[in-house]
Amino acid sequence: MKTIAVTALALLATSVSAATYQDFPAGGLSCPTSSGDKLTPLVDLKKAADGVKGTTPRETSASNLASGKCTSLDQPLYDASIGESTIGIAYDEAKDTFYFCYAQAGGDYDGDGWPDGCTEQ
Return the domain boundaries, the chain.
Answer: 19-120
Measured at the CA of 40, the angle between CA 72 and CA 35, to 5 degrees, comes to: 115
For the CA atoms of 113, 106, 29, 73, the dihedral, rounded to the nearest 10 degrees, stands at -80
- pTM exceeds 0.95: no
Residue by residue, pLDDT tens for the chain (121 residues) are 555 555 554 554 444 568 999 999 999 999 999 899 999 999 999 999 999 999 999 999 999 987 679 999 999 999 999 999 999 999 999 999 999 999 999 999 999 999 999 999 9
H or E segment and range at residue 72: none
